Amino acid sequence: MTSPPLPGVTLTTHLLINPSHRSIDKALFARVDALLNSMTDAQMKAYLSDTVYLERQRFYADGVTDSDESAAIEGLAHGIHDGPEAMRKAAQVLVKSYSHEIHNRFSERTFGAAMKLAPGALKRLLAPAERGAWRWPDFAKGDHIQVQGPVDKIRALSKTHTLVVAPTHVSNLDSPLVGYALHMAGLPPCTYGAGLNLFSNPAMSFFMARLGAYTVDRRKRHRLYKDVLKAYSTELIARGAHSLFYPGGTRSRSGQLEPHIKRGLLGTAIAAWQEGLQSGNEKPEVLVVPCTLSCSLVLEAETLIEDFLAGQGKSRYIITDDEFSHPTAVLKFVRQLLDLNASMVVRFGEPLDLIGNRVNESGQSVDGSGRSFDRRKYVCDSKDVVVADAQRDRVYTNHLATSLCRAYREDSVALSTHVAAYAGWSCLVERYPHLDHYQRVLLAPFERWVDRTRMLAAIESLLDQIAQKVSDGEMQSLLHEGPDRAEKTLTDAVAAFACFHSRRTLEFEDWRILVDPKLSLYYGNRLSGFDLQIGDES
């Protein structure tokens, strides 16, 4: 059958990036050199010595004895002993290596070709099968994937502003999902950083690498590498490339919305904005677009909650082999997930300036009363000259981070799986009030049940509270209404959970509901922080 035409922009991007290594290398050399020149000799030695120490540790742990990277690190070690000039030269060799690693996979030619092929490929991937034929989802009815928010406003602003899309991070499938949502909303594509481990999936690696993704190796934990990444991000935004990055830094292990976010990459946006103002760029303005992802199911839920419980209170490790590493698991998950109505919601929030204020239709910053003001006064003197002030910029970035976290909460969409899982976990807490989280998740199989009547009462109470919070503008929902809403919510959730996971999050058994504590905790955590109660919870 013939599919209806896709809404959206012409499949080109306004990327102003010269894809040659020479151009990128030169820009990063200049930025890192300026950073090193701002240090005293002692500070630079300590900064680069930390790089050598941490990289040697990584090589030892990985069993690396001879590689281009290890040779560059040993060259830096020698440079540290030979004085400031030798240190700078050795650091530039390492910066060049990192630049190639980060930028190497991007192909402007393949990017253009892939954008032309994207609608057909995405249609085949994201449309569920029906009676042996492909059926294009009816987004007007709200099934499968919903794209919400002020997309007309954002689309208009994208023509005069550089956008930084800042989504919540749920799964390794988030970047393709957001890319698809951008296309469906008629918004331009974005460049984005993708963890090196994501390229282990051969089905996704080729396209991720050429659809604006640049490589991020999270095993490199030293400041020099992080500063190179920041310089790269600043350069992209300064050149007018719409960008996407996850302020949370990594997937939410617990299933919760990000209560706190990392400031590093957010700071690159304010730096690029000021550079554009200072250089007289024709279009210097940069806006941040919050993007909240709400999913009925999460591919890696079992792995993520295990990691959260194992590492709570400790430094989290990078998962390199989870469900995303297996192409067949990804395809199975996508197929089954998209047989559910409204299974994923991508909600774009109100655009923000780089201080965290909302903006009006023309992109002007507005205060709480809706009055517009000139945000350039935040960073310029009376003669409209940019004044450098790192401490001030950190304060502004903190304001932006707070505004993003607030937007994530207000734009979070409660789904049936979230409500039922929250009720299931809460009922377990009610049954076993003297156990802590770890003891509850280790309950024996015969202990993991709750009374169905009590479960339905808990869901009914949650639906009332969520409806009130939606009315107050504190969150969103796509939940059932009417006299049988609790029963429908539970039935929908049980059916959804039966689609994919090896363990059933919730399952019917006569008058009882069988509850998997770990997965119920994970999915229910989506509603944690909203002060929802079903009774006295210890």
Residue 419 confidence (pLDDT) above 80: yes
Q: Which of 135-139, 214-218, 361-365, 379-383 has the lowest mean pLDDT?
A: 135-139
| pLDDT tier at 111, thresholds 50, 70, 90 | low
Residue 173 belongs to a domain: no
What is the model's pLDDT at position 195?
Answer: 74
Pick the more confident residue, 537 or 94.
94
Give the list of residues 6+ apart from residue 360 with CB closer than 8 angstroms, or none. 366, 370, 372
| pLDDT tier at 213, thresholds 50, 70, 90 | confident
Q: What is the dihedral sign for C-alpha 210, 211, 214, 218? A: negative
Tens-place pLDDT, residues 29-51: 899 999 999 999 999 999 999 99
Residue 473 confidence (pLDDT) above 90: yes
Q: Which of 21-35, 237-251, 255-269 has the lowest mean pLDDT?
A: 21-35
Residue 482 belongs to a domain: yes
Q: Which of 158-172, 314-328, 493-507 has the lowest mean pLDDT?
A: 314-328
Q: Which of 3-17, 248-262, 418-432 has the lowest mean pLDDT?
A: 3-17
Tens-place pLDDT, residues 478-519: 999 999 999 999 999 999 998 878 789 999 999 999 999 999
Residue 198 confidence (pLDDT) above 60: yes
Pick the more confident residue, 215 or 520.
520
What is the model's pLDDT at position 99?
Answer: 87
What is the model's pLDDT at position 330?
Answer: 56
Residue 315 confidence (pLDDT) above 60: no
| pLDDT tier at 288, thresholds 50, 70, 90 | very high
What is the model's pLDDT at position 470?
Answer: 97
Residue 293 belongs to a domain: no
What is the model's pLDDT at position 19?
Answer: 46
Q: Which of 493, 126, 161 is nearest to 330 (CA)?
A: 126
CA 2/CA 466 separation, integer angstroms:
40
Residues 387/380, Cβ–Cβ less than 8 Å: yes
What average pLDDT does the chain have? Answer: 83
Pick the more confident residue, 7 or 533.
533
Residue 517 belongs to a domain: yes
| pLDDT tier at 193, thresholds 50, 70, 90 | confident
| Domain around 436 | 414-527
Q: Which of 38, 23, 31 is nearest to 92 (CA)?
A: 31
The CA distances from residue 350 to 302, 363, 470, in Å, are 33, 11, 17
Provide, rounded to the nearest whole percent, the portion of the chain with pLDDT above 90.
Answer: 58
| pLDDT tier at 217, thresholds 50, 70, 90 | confident
Residue 489 belongs to a domain: yes
Pick the more confident residue, 536 or 439.
439
What is the model's pLDDT at position 44?
Answer: 96
What is the model's pLDDT at position 108?
Answer: 53
Residue 140 confidence (pLDDT) above 70: no
Beta bridge partners of 365: 359, 373
DSSP structural state of residue 196:
G
CA 501/CA 302 separation, integer angstroms:
8
What is the model's pLDDT at position 113?
Answer: 56
What is the model's pLDDT at position 102?
Answer: 84
| pLDDT tier at 190, thresholds 50, 70, 90 | confident
Q: What is the pTM (predicted TM-score) of this model? A: 0.84
Residue 378 confidence (pLDDT) above 90: yes
Mean pLDDT for 192-215 is 67
What is the model's pLDDT at position 215?
Answer: 81
Tally the domains of the chain: 1
Cβ density class 322-357: b for 16+ within 10 Å, e for less = bbbbeeebbeebbbbbbebbbbbbbbbbbbbbbbbb
Looking at beta carbons, which pairs linking 534-538 to residues 24 or more positions away fall under 8 Å?
Answer: 534/423, 534/426, 534/427, 534/430, 534/457, 534/458, 534/461, 534/462, 535/426, 535/430, 535/458, 536/430, 536/433, 537/426, 537/429, 537/430, 537/433, 538/429, 538/433, 538/434
| pLDDT tier at 106, thresholds 50, 70, 90 | low
What is the model's pLDDT at position 56?
Answer: 94
What is the model's pLDDT at position 7?
Answer: 37
Q: Which of 173-182, 209-218, 223-232, 403-412 has the lowest mean pLDDT?
A: 209-218
Residue 336 belongs to a domain: no
Residue 48 belongs to a domain: no
| pLDDT tier at 6, thresholds 50, 70, 90 | very low
Residue 117 confidence (pLDDT) above 60: no
CA 108/CA 408 separation, integer angstroms:
32
Provide, rounded to the nearest whole percent, the portion of the chain with pLDDT above 70.
Answer: 79
The CA distances from residue 54 to 10, 50, 73, 77, 162, in Å, are 45, 6, 10, 12, 36
What is the model's pLDDT at position 502?
Answer: 79
The angle formed by the CA atoms of residues 269, 275 and 279, to the nearest 5 degrees, is 150
Q: Which of 5-19, 22-36, 444-458, 495-509 has the lowest mean pLDDT?
A: 5-19
Residue 123 confidence (pLDDT) above 90: no
Mean pLDDT for 146-174 is 94
Residue 8 belongs to a domain: no
Residue 144 confidence (pLDDT) above 80: no
Chain Cα centroid distance, residue 358: 21
| Top mean-pLDDT range of 314-328, 338-352, 400-414, 427-441 | 400-414
| pLDDT tier at 329, thresholds 50, 70, 90 | low
What is the model's pLDDT at position 535?
Answer: 67
